[in-house]
Chain A
Amino acid sequence: MTAPAARRGIAVEQAVVYGLLTALGLGALVMALDYGLFLEESRVGPGLVPAVVGGLTALIAGWELIATLRGHRTPHDQGLAEVVAAAAVDAPRGGASSQSAAPGGPPSGSSGSMSPDGGPVQILGSGPGPDDVDIFGRTPEDRSRQLWTVSAALVVAALLVPLLGLLGSLFVLSVFVSAVVERRGWVPSLVVSFLAVAAVYGVFVGFLGVPLPTGLIGIGG
């Protein structure tokens, strides 16, 4: 049940990346031809290197794309696959999935397209596998949501700089990530963030004299 879904998930994700790279390479090749491969007297022109590099990129990425679409792909233990797999089975399974189900689904169930060295890979010291709950009891979906929240928060923080100033907006980011995403208390979050921002201010502004933008309401000049 899990394995085909997982495999399809990997394939989709890889196909998207290789597709993008193929397009990137082709785009570069076309634009580079426009810049001119050679100048007069057959000197190397501005387009030569990008054209060759772009062409090769498209070639290799295209090769990988086709291989992925045809099912001959390198095995992966982490990726969209787990999200798909987890979404498919996780509702009944609930919180604590076992270590044996991790990572990457059962490799034995797959066809010969998987290479023999593609077994589960795990970094020692990073406790949970992708399908497990971590030490704070967070499921993969929780973590996926956190990832999106943090990514979005980073963008919002960067957008807020003209208003709050760089340090002001990073202070808000830090408090938000600590208190909301990591669910720590508001007081420690505020204190730690404040100390961090003060330290950064001391080093960058006080010592190195980097002029940081203050924003409209003038925090953290």
Chain B
Amino acid sequence: MLDNLVLGFSTALSFENLLWCFVGVLVGTVIGVLPGLGSTTGVAVLLPLTLSLEPVTGLIMLAGIYYGSQYGGTITSVLISTPGEASSVVTTLDGYQMARQGRAGAALSIAAIGSFVAAIISLALLVALAPPFAEFALDFGPPEMLAVMVLGLATIVSFAGDNRRLGLLMALVGLLIATVGVDPGSGTSRFTFGSIYLLSGIPFVEVMIGLFAVGEVLYQIRQGAAAPIRAGFRELMISRADLRRSGGPILRGSFLGFVFGILPGAGSTLASFMAYGIEKRVSKRGKEFGTGAIEGVAAPEAANNAAANANFVPTLTLGIPGGATTAVLLGAFMIYGIQPGPLLFDEQPDLVWGLLASFFIGNVILLFLNLPLAPVFAQLLRVPYGYMYPLILLTSLVGAYSITNGMYSVWVVLVFGVIGYFMKRLDLPMAPLVLGLVLGPLFEKALVQTSAIGDGNLLVVFTRPLALVVLAIAVLQLAAPSIMARLLRRRATTRSRRSDPADSTPEGSTRG
């Protein structure tokens, strides 16, 4: 084990590899900032650029792009409420509110720190326990995934804001949107009305750009220009109290993210939503969530970063991609002439361990790059919104176009921009809709598969112990929150009275 690590670091620390790791992280961050370009597109589009490099170096650069672009997405989530991918949607809930209170610097810093800690924890787990975890992931067949999806949908309770019925309604709307297109079981085209564009469903990234970026712009225009957010130097920096508050959420988020990240499919999105939900329950400041609580940024950011790393468990040990981006990375392996699969660790030790070591180095670079830059990025908010929103609209629309190279994407963005505007006006919570939209196809696929495996009998779920455990957790989450919350809050209030005088944040938006 130690030999392997030494081998890995000696590979990754060569000048050339360090340089390209840095370039990858930097370019990735820029890609992530552009709306419409998430880590998957970033890696796919820049893949040809790496072909002239050595395979290890190329992969190191691509991995740098992978987590660089995730952090880039966090920057826009916090500053202009535009998540780069589904897994950073949750970050907008509190991150954007923090930014509006002049605390964007702290939000970006805690995201960088949380991501870093999560990366280190998940890398340690990955190095030490990848094979058994991979076996564990294989035990998750369709019935188990169905149970996980039920658990995921149960977290909607945490995102419904004050009115659970509205949260449920929005989640249902998300699920309904997700059913558009060719169904997974029989190949029937549903709700397509003869349009070829709708065959593959309503595209998710475009919906997000519309709801979040364009919707927020329209809403801000109606709200009127505010004085630019002026924050003192002290507020730009992350405070010691912030760090103390975020420790627990980051640790919990990291482990949660790792476990969900191993599961193929919606790993990191689900992980970030679950982490937020759990913190909201557990935290003594549960009420503040959605109004700019730093825990609401720390936990999901840690979770989605841990999940991104955990995605490499099945990718490297089994040769099965853990997510969309790792699927593209597997394609890159093939282009380099490396056969991904179970033998990779034995046949290409310098490559695998070099890659793993570069994850560590890349995350260090990311931290050192972004901690000083966080206050600088936060300064962007000093630009009056009236100057900024034409630029947001411009990049959103070009970004949307670049997803499919077609105007259809642009129209989807505009339509959902208007929908997003009205949702904000009427206080309809957006996070449940996104969750429904993400989980909908996975839920339905698991349902169809389970029904096929059980030969038409869905009750087969109850014969699988692992699925039963997951379902039990879901039931607990639905049934017991009030009890749990009451217990925890009673304990918390007595403590917080003493420790935290800066607790008097004014009541904020109830969105989310």
Chain A residues with CB under 8 Å of chain B are: 13-14, 17, 21, 24-25, 28, 31-32, 35-36, 39, 41-50, 53-54, 56-57, 60-61, 63-64, 74, 76, 78-80, 117, 119, 121-128, 130, 132-136, 138, 140, 143-144, 146-147, 150-151, 154-155, 157-158, 161, 166-167, 170, 173-174, 177-178, 182, 184, 192-193, 196-197, 200, 203-204, 208-213
Beyond the given pairs A25-B172, A53-B179, 5 more chain A to chain B contacts, judged by CB atoms under 8 angstroms and listed by A's residue number, are: A39-B185, A41-B456, A154-B414, A158-B407, A158-B410
Q: Would you call A123 and B100 a contact (CB within 8 A)?
A: yes
A-B complex: 10 closest residue pairs judged by Cβ atoms: A134-B224, A42-B456, A46-B183, A127-B226, A46-B188, A44-B451, A125-B100, A50-B179, A210-B402, A126-B226
Q: Would you call B176 and A25 a contact (CB within 8 A)?
A: yes
Say yes or no: A49-B452 contact (C-beta < 8 A), given A31-B191, A35-B190. no
Please tell me which stretch of B13-21, B309-317, B353-361, B419-427 contacts chain A, meaning at least 4 of its Cβ atoms lie within 8 angstroms of it.
Answer: B419-427
Q: Would you call A147 and B222 a contact (CB within 8 A)?
A: yes
Say yes or no: A32-B394 contact (C-beta < 8 A), given A44-B448, A64-B169. no
Q: How far is the CB of B153 from chain A (nearest CB, A)?
A: 11
Residues from chain B with Cβ under 8 Å of A17 in the complex: 422, 426, 428
Q: Would you call B395 and A200 a contact (CB within 8 A)?
A: yes
Quick one: which of A135, A166, A213 contacts B227, CB cutoff 8 A? A135
Say yes or no: A193-B426 contact (C-beta < 8 A), given A125-B100, A138-B225. no
Quick one: which of A57, A133, A157, A212 contacts B176, CB cutoff 8 A? A57
B435-457 interface code vs A (CB 8 A; 1 in, 0 out): 00000100110011001100111
User: Complex formed: what's the CA distance from A117 to B426 in Å?
Assistant: 16
B contacts with A: majority SS: helix
User: Complex formed: what's the CA distance from A119 to B270 in Å?
Assistant: 33
A-B contact pairs, 22 of them (CB 8 A): A13-B425, A14-B426, A17-B426, A46-B185, A60-B172, A64-B166, A74-B163, A79-B426, A125-B100, A126-B226, A136-B224, A136-B386, A138-B225, A143-B223, A144-B222, A146-B222, A147-B218, A147-B421, A158-B397, A174-B394, A208-B37, A208-B46
User: Complex formed: what's the CA distance from A132 to B223 in Å?
Assistant: 9
User: Complex formed: what's the CA distance from A192 to B421 in Å?
Assistant: 26
Q: Would you call A121 and B507 a contact (CB within 8 A)?
A: yes
Interface flag for B101 (CB, 8 Å): yes
User: Complex formed: what's the CA distance from A178 to B169 in Å?
Assistant: 38
Residues from chain A with Cβ under 8 Å of B448 in the complex: 43-44
Interface flag for B391 (CB, 8 Å): yes
Q: Would you call A158 and B414 a contact (CB within 8 A)?
A: yes
Interface flag for B232 (CB, 8 Å): no
Q: Would you call B405 and A126 a contact (CB within 8 A)?
A: no
What count of chain B residues pass the 8 Å CB interface test? 79
Interface flag for B34 (CB, 8 Å): yes
Residues from chain B with Cβ under 8 Å of A41 in the complex: 455-456
Q: Would you call B30 and A203 a contact (CB within 8 A)?
A: yes
Interface flag for B102 (CB, 8 Å): yes
Interface flag for B132 (CB, 8 Å): no
Residues from chain A with Cβ under 8 Å of B339 in the complex: none
Interface flag for B347 (CB, 8 Å): no
B133-176 interface code vs A (CB 8 A; 1 in, 0 out): 00000000000000000000000000000110110110011011
Say yes or no: A143-B222 contact (C-beta < 8 A), given A45-B186, A46-B185. yes
User: Chain A residue with minimal CB distance to B405?
Assistant: A211
Interface flag for B398 (CB, 8 Å): yes
Residues from chain A with Cβ under 8 Å of B229 in the complex: 125
B314-335 interface code vs A (CB 8 A; 1 in, 0 out): 0000000000000000000000
Residues from chain B with Cβ under 8 Å of A193 in the complex: 390
